[in-house]
Structure 1
Amino acid sequence: MDLDEIKYNESGLVPVIVQDAENGQVLMFAYANKESLRKTMETGRTHFWSRSRQKLWMKGEESGNVQEVVDMFFDCDSDTVLVLVRQTGVACHTGRRSCFFVSVEGNEKSSPSFGSESGDRTLDEVFRVIEDRKRNPREGSYVSGLFEKGVDKILKKIGEEAGETIIGAKNGDRDEIVYETADLWFHSLIALSYFGITPEDIYRELGKRFGKPRESYRNKS
């Protein structure tokens, strides 16, 4: 992308639309100048220009909700930039994933996405946040605290959550089973991250097993 081809306004700014690269959801709108666009391209993370603070800023520099750049485009008139990203956590300071959550009728709802909303996408998103908390520890973060306490604490939590899932199942309580299984999966993802394993590794292993008898793939050692 040639930054000199972009048509900046009288303040040296250009509108930037940020979109989820995986499901097409529009996440936010901001302004950038040439410097912030250059930083975005150099670092692979979105940078913008704050009109109120009159300074350059990186998305997620305080919250940890960074945006990893997948691709960048400018439109046919060269006066608007589109950035496709992988979003860590949420994009909006309100805690919503997208800044566009109020319809013109005044109803609160999330802006549409057009990709799959399958469970693996949710797991991947949660895992990205876990990875970020591991790489960039945050004071008061539950996940960062578990990594700091080490593998024994993480595995202890998995054991506790597995036991609570079993109790929920024994009770026949559907809501309890769902809640405790979510806790079990969450702490299992933390363990995967600790050992440098990703959900994709698990997906591949499950793919190898699909449609095959258990005896053909189980560990026989």
Structure 2
Amino acid sequence: MLTVNQILDLNWNKVNNLIPIIAQDIISNQILMHGYVNQKSLLITLKTKKLTFFSRTKNRLWTKGETSRNYLKVIDLVTDCDKDTLLALVQAEGDTCHLKNKSCFITKNTNISFILELEKILKNCKNNNNTSYTSRLYKKGINKISQKVGEEAVELVIAAINEDRKHVLEECADLIYHILVLLNYKNIKFIDLIKILKKRNK
């Protein structure tokens, strides 16, 4: 995270004492939005941990989410090598775009963002009564869910021993799906697994 001294040391001369800033989701790496900041908005961002911009059209400071409550919680704030552009690594609370999209930039889901989207779908199935396989599995409880994880793990092992690539991929997808169901049932987020893996990689 930038310090106050580092903020003052940025190159403020290029764009009328403003610096462009890019907000990136720290979990999915998806680019969420672009804006501008001045020194005061950055100091507010450091204090509140909510990304605050300088609006050139409104000619004032504004915190993303001040109306919608879809804040961008700043986890880290870094500068580029020329000290004239900033990257804010954030956790997004709700949709970032005013058009009710996750990002202001329309792109296809990355692999990790698809997992996170699937996690939301599973959570919706958990909380809603419908006839889908996932909802029925949630109703049967943790014993049945755990049993399915075990069954899929065994089937994956058999496929791997038989060296059937297509079967390995299909069984692996089944296992990951059921693991996600189990995690969701236990109110554990996929990002919690990523944090453990990153910690073990140090």
TM-score range, shorter chain: 0.5 to 0.7
Residues 45 and 114 (structure 1 numbering): CA distance in 2 closer, same or farther, change over 3 Å?
farther
Is the CA contact (8 Å cut-off) linking 2:97 and 2:104 kept in structure 1?
yes
State the 1:119 CA deviation. Answer: 5.0
Residues 202 and 94 (structure 1 numbering): CA distance in 2 closer, same or farther, change over 3 Å?
closer
The amino acid that maps onto 2:115 is S
2:73 counterpart residue number? 68
- CA–CA distance in 1 between the matches of 2:48 and 2:61? 14
- CA–CA distance in 2 between the matches of 1:65 and 1:91? 7
> Aligned match of 1:50 in 32, 47, 55?
55
Residues 116 and 6 (structure 1 numbering): CA distance in 2 closer, same or farther, change over 3 Å?
same
The DSSP-based 3-state class of the residue aligned with 1:202 is coil
- CA–CA distance in 2 between the matches of 1:84 and 1:121? 22
> Aligned match of 1:5 in 1, 4, 9?
9
1:79 counterpart residue number? 84
Q: Does 1:115 align with 2:112?
A: yes
State the 1:123 CA deviation. Answer: 3.3
Q: Does 1:29 align with 2:26?
A: no
2:45 counterpart residue number? 40
- CA–CA distance in 1 between the matches of 2:185 and 2:43? 32
The DSSP-based 3-state class of the residue aligned with 1:115 is helix
Give the TM-score taking structure 1 as reference length: 0.53
State the 1:121 CA deviation. Answer: 6.8
Residues 202 and 16 (structure 1 numbering): CA distance in 2 closer, same or farther, change over 3 Å?
same
Is the CA contact (8 Å cut-off) linking 2:119 and 2:184 kept in structure 1?
no
**Which consecutive unaligned segments of at least 5 residues does structure 1 have?**
102-109, 128-157, 169-176, 186-197, 205-221
State the 1:23 CA deviation. Answer: 1.0
Q: CA RMSD, aligned part only?
A: 3.3
Q: Which moved more, 1:110-119 or 1:34-43?
A: 110-119
CA distances 1:176-214 after superposition (whole Å, capped 9, x unpaired): x37x94xx99xxxxxxxxxxxx9695339xxxxxxxxxx
Residues 114 and 16 (structure 1 numbering): CA distance in 2 closer, same or farther, change over 3 Å?
farther
Is the CA contact (8 Å cut-off) linking 1:25 and 1:114 kept in structure 2?
no
The DSSP-based 3-state class of the residue aligned with 2:36 is strand
- CA–CA distance in 1 between the matches of 2:68 and 2:52? 14
Instruction: Give aligned pairs, total.
Output: 137
Is the CA contact (8 Å cut-off) linking 1:26 and 1:111 kept in structure 2?
no
- CA–CA distance in 2 between the matches of 1:34 and 1:69? 16
Q: Quick one: percent identity of the two aligned structures?
A: 30
CA distances 1:143-194 after superposition (whole Å, capped 9, x unpaired): xxxxxxxxxxxxxxx6xx43xx2xx3xxxxxxxx37x94xx99xxxxxxxxx
Alignment of 1:122-201 (within 5 A): 122-123=119-120, 161-162=128-129, 165=130, 168=131, 177=132, 181=135
Residues 113 and 123 (structure 1 numbering): CA distance in 2 closer, same or farther, change over 3 Å?
same
1:16 counterpart residue number? 21
Give the TM-score taking structure 2 as reference length: 0.58
